[in-house]
Amino acid sequence: MSLLQVESLDCRHGLLQAVRGVSFEIAAGETLALIGANGAGKTTLLRAIAGAHRPLAGTVRFDGADVTGLPPHSRVSRGLALVPEGRRLFAGLTVDENLRAATIPGRKGRWNVGAVLDVFPFLKPRLHSPAGTLSGGEQQAVAIGRALMSNPRLLLLDEVSLGLAPVAVDSMYRSLEKVIGEGATVLLVEQDLTRALEVADRVACMLEGRIVLSGDAKTLDRQTVIEAYFGLKRATAEGSAG
């Protein structure tokens, strides 16, 4: 059984329909990259899965249970963790305090401060520095580490490379590959097609609120993906689960 099932999800921002009848699944241990140009509906879809945006219609199921009506904190307790676009750290708190703030008492798992620092070793000398004094790449690492501290079963990552210098993006994705290598289940929203194809098992491309192409990241023709990304051709989705 899939860990996450999204069924016929519709989301609006006022009169604007941002997500249109989206359906897909993610299996435990899988990484799915959700790609598309700015405004395609990716962030709204991710927020709806996390409980931060109420859908107009459709269903979100997590580990077989319907969580569509649950608030964000209830989804976190079940094992859903979102790293939002823009990071949204507690700027006045230290790195250590930001990480520990996400700990869920009694929830078991391998992720603690030491494990996060093993994946993001460049944070070690910054552990007791206020998060607001860190570089963009360092802040993104803290945001991901904070989500990991809840020992999630599904990690939702929204635009981890956005606004970062290329060297910071390289470092971020090396660390992300370690997280994925630990067996994490990941839904990654990304505009950078090359990065997405490098780390994902499957790719789903959104255009104007719909999934217009999905398939195996290693076998999808790159030109076909590019055409779907920019809407140069109306690609047909290969099924709701890819």
Q: Could you tell me the CATH number of the domain that includes residue 90?
A: 3.40.50.300
Predicted pLDDT of residue 126: 96
Higher pLDDT, 27 or 37: 27
Please check whether residue 130 lies inside any domain of the structure: yes
- Position 231 confidence tier, pLDDT thresholds 50, 70, 90: confident
Question: Does the pTM of the predicted model rise above 0.75?
Answer: yes
Please check whether residue 240 lies inside any domain of the structure: no
Please check whether residue 237 lies inside any domain of the structure: no
Residue 1 pLDDT > 80, yes or no?
no
CA distance 29 to 8: 23
Buried b (16+ CB within 10 A) or exposed e, 20-40: bebbbbbeeebbbbbbbeeeb
Please check whether residue 239 lies inside any domain of the structure: no
Please check whether residue 238 lies inside any domain of the structure: no
Report percent pLDDT > 90 for the chain.
Answer: 74
Q: Is 7 exposed, middle or buried (0-12, 13-18, 19+ CB in 10 A)?
A: middle
Residue 235 pLDDT > 70, yes or no?
no
Q: Are 78 and 63 in contact (CB under 8 A)?
A: yes
Q: How many domains does the chain have?
A: 1
Residue 12 pLDDT > 90, yes or no?
yes
Q: Which range of residues forms the domain containing residue 101?
A: 4-230
Please check whether residue 236 lies inside any domain of the structure: no
Please check whether residue 41 lies inside any domain of the structure: yes
